[in-house]
Amino acid sequence: MSKIQAAITAVGGYVPKKILSNKDLETMVDTTDEWIKSRTGILERRILEDGKATSDMACIAVNELLQKRGISALEIDVVICCTITGDLIFPATANIICDKVGAKNAWGFDLAAACSGFLFGLETGSKFIESGKYKKVIVIGGDKMSAILDYTDRNTCIIFGDGTGAVLLEPNEEGLGICDSILRTDGSGREFLHQKAGGSLNPPTAETISAREHYVYQEGKTVFKFAVTNMAEVSKEIMDRNNLTAHDIDYLVAHQANKRIIDATADRMEIGSEKVLMNIQRYGNTTNGTLPLLLWDFEKQLKKGDTLILSTFGGGFTWGSIYLKWAYNS
């Protein structure tokens, strides 16, 4: 019998309608459209309305995916929600999503690995499929970053946006799906990108709130240096160990944090810009949402048998690459 691999068989996504442009940000912090464009590649990002949460975006993405695949929510075995902005500290947002979409036969959990969460979730989900026990696993990646951004801090508020994507994993015995992965963490990098308060180390108090410690804190320049080096290295490493040349790769699906980091990764892999999927200009950095939203936006372009390299770098530090063969034509 051939080996069971986990293949993506459907994709769904959602980005809020409200657009926050660079021009809008010029009126909020000391920045310019030109600075943001040239340093990050971002033109605009989406903002979810007040009163809505990550699960609301995720449910739209999941329902789209179910409809495209022509299956009922009752057929889903497992839901993994990769996020750093879950609806509540607990219970898990995956539970809320299962309830809202009617996935009554599924169990689920949240997975937190900052910007690499979706990649780590894909790896986790693929192991459930490879075990043979589970046939339909949904991996969601998404964040309402606007809920944890300080819109007086120009170092962070210009980068991030809101959005969520979701993929369905199913068994494949034709050699399609997830072929290899390299995942890494280095917790010593936590000081450069984190949220200071709200967890068990610094529970919420009036002081933590007035010190603005419930927002994203980032030392951008340091994170940039680690991101360029590590995302490029791991992407090259996964190519080398699978004997892949630039010619073999159809698309690079890279975390959308900064166009300069994505370009550096593509250069290291020696692949041309025509093979680099990019939507950072429209959504900014949606943290866990970037990879599934790329697959969602470019789904029609992807053909059965295409070779994709997915790569991320994020807070933790966390980073990694997945080599997969696309499994369907849409």
Q: Which residues bind ligand UT7 (CB under 6 A)?
A: 31, 35, 39-40, 115, 154-155, 158-159, 220-221, 223-224, 227, 257-258, 261, 285, 313-315
Closest separation in Å from C-beta 256 to ligand UT7:
8
Closest separation in Å from C-beta 225 to ligand UT7:
9
Closest separation in Å from C-beta 142 to ligand UT7:
14
From 95, 115, 157, 258, active-site residue:
115
Q: Is 194 a catalytic residue?
A: no
Residue among 215 and 313 whose Cβ is closer to ligand UT7: 313
Cβ distance 214 to 194 under 8 Å? no
From residue 12, how far is each of 44, 62, 167, 204 by CA, in Å?
21, 6, 6, 35
From 22, 230, 258, 285, active-site residue:
285
Cβ distance 215 to 156 under 8 Å? yes
Residue among 34 and 270 whose Cβ is closer to ligand UT7: 34
Closest separation in Å from C-beta 54 to ligand UT7:
17
Closest separation in Å from C-beta 71 to ligand UT7:
33
Residue among 190 and 304 whose Cβ is closer to ligand UT7: 190
Helical axes 54-69 vs 93-101, angle rounded to 10°: 50
From 230, 255, 258, 288, active-site residue:
255
Residue nearest to ligand UT7 (CB): 220
Closest separation in Å from C-beta 267 to ligand UT7:
16
Q: Is 255 a catalytic residue?
A: yes
How many Å separate Cα 235 from the centre of its chain? 16
Q: Looking at the annotation, which residues are catalytic?
A: 115, 255, 285
